[in-house]
C-alpha cells in the first residue's frame, strides 16, 4: 500500500496577523541593528524579568503541590530563578555576559531546528529556502557568539537579535505568500 501526502493537509497560517507581525519583526530587527547596545541591555532586562516571574511561579507551584514530591527542592529551584532574575535586573550590564552565553546557545539551537523544519517544508512551500537561510544564519551566529565571548558582548547581542528578527520576519512574509500560491 502506498501512502500519498495529500495537499489538503497543508494549512496556511491566517494572514490577518501574520503580515503585521512579520513587518514588526523586520522593523524591530532594523532598530536593534542600528542601536545594538540598547537592544542588548533591553533584552537582558527582559530576560531577568522572565526569570523572576518563573521563580515566583515555581514557588507558587511548590506551595500548591505539597503532596506531589519534595516541596523544599521546588522552593529552592524557584528561589534560584527569582534570585537570578533579581541579579540580572539589578545589574544588567553584568547580566549581559551571562545572557550572551545563553543567547548564543539558544540562537544556535533555533538555527538547527529551523534547518530541520525547512527541509520538511520543501514540498509544501516554494519559499522554504528562506527558513533554511534563517536557520543557517542562526547556526553561524551562535558559533560566533561563543567564539568572540566576552569581548563583543555589549554590541553583539543586540546585533544578533536584530539580524535574527530581520531574517525571521522575512521568511514569515515569503513563506506565507508561497503557501498561498501553491494552494491556488
Q: What digits encode the pLDDT tens for the residues 72-101?
A: 888 888 898 899 889 889 988 888 887 788
Residue 126 has pLDDT above 90, yes or no: no
Q: What local confidence, expressed as pLDDT, does residue 179 receive? A: 54
Asked whether the beta carbons of 99 and 43 are under 8 A apart, the reply is yes
Q: What local confidence, expressed as pLDDT, does residue 124 receive? A: 83
DSSP of 135-165:
HHHHHHHHHHHHHHTTTTHHHHHHHHHHHHH
**Among 25-39, 54-68, 120-134, 167-181, which is the least confidently predicted range?**
167-181
Mean pLDDT, range 66-77, rounded to an integer: 76
Tell me how far CA of residue 38 lies from CA of 50, 107, 138, in angstroms.
18, 19, 21
Q: What digits encode the pLDDT tens for the residues 143-169?
A: 988 888 877 787 887 887 899 899 989
pTM comes to 0.59
**Among 1-5, 44-48, 52-56, which is the least confidently predicted range?**
1-5
Task: Report how far residue 161's alpha carbon sits from residue 13's, in angstroms, rounded to the nearest whole number.
Answer: 24
Q: What local confidence, expressed as pLDDT, does residue 139 receive? A: 93
Q: Shortest CA distance to 87 belongs to which of 54, 49, 119, 136?
A: 49
Residue 4 has pLDDT above 60, yes or no: no
Which three cell numbers mark 97?
555576559
Q: Shortest CA distance to 101 belongs to which of 156, 53, 165, 35?
A: 156
Q: What is the band of 129 on the pLDDT scale with cuts at 50, 70, 90?
A: confident
- Position with higher pLDDT, 177 vs 74: 74
- Stated as kind and residue range, the H or E segment containing 107 is helix 92-121
Q: Kindly report the average pLDDT of the chain as a whole number.
A: 82
CA 121 centroid distance within chain: 20
Amino acid at each position: 500500500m502506498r501512502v500519498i501526502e495529500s495537499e489538503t493537509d497543508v494549512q496556511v497560517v491566517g494572514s490577518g496577523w501574520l503580515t503585521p507581525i512579520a513587518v514588526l519583526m523586520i522593523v524591530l530587527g532594523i532598530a536593534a541593528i542600528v542601536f545594538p547596545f540598547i537592544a542588548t541591555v533591553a533584552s537582558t532586562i527582559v530576560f531577568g524579568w522572565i526569570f523572576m516571574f518563573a521563580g515566583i511561579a515555581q514557588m507558587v507551584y511548590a506551595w500548591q503541590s505539597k503532596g506531589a514530591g519534595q516541596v523544599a527542592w521546588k522552593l529552592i529551584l524557584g528561589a534560584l530563578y527569582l534570585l537570578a532574575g533579581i541579579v540580572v535586573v539589578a545589574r544588567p550590564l553584568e547580566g549581559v555576559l551571562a545572557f550572551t552565553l545563553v543567547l548564543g546557545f539558544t540562537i544556535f539551537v533555533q538555527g538547527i531546528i529551523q534547518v530541520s523544519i525547512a527541509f520538511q517544508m520543501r514540498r509544501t512551500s516554494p519559499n522554504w529556502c528562506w527558513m533554511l537561510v534563517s536557520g543557517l544564519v542562526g547556526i553561524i551566529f551562535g558559533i560566533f557568539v561563543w567564539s568572540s565571548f566576552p569581548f563583543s558582548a555589549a554590541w553583539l547581542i543586540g546585533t544578533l537579535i536584530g539580524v535574527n528578527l530581520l531574517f525571521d520576519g522575512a521568511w514569515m512574509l515569503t513563506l506565507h505568500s508561497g503557501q498561498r500560491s501553491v494552494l491556488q
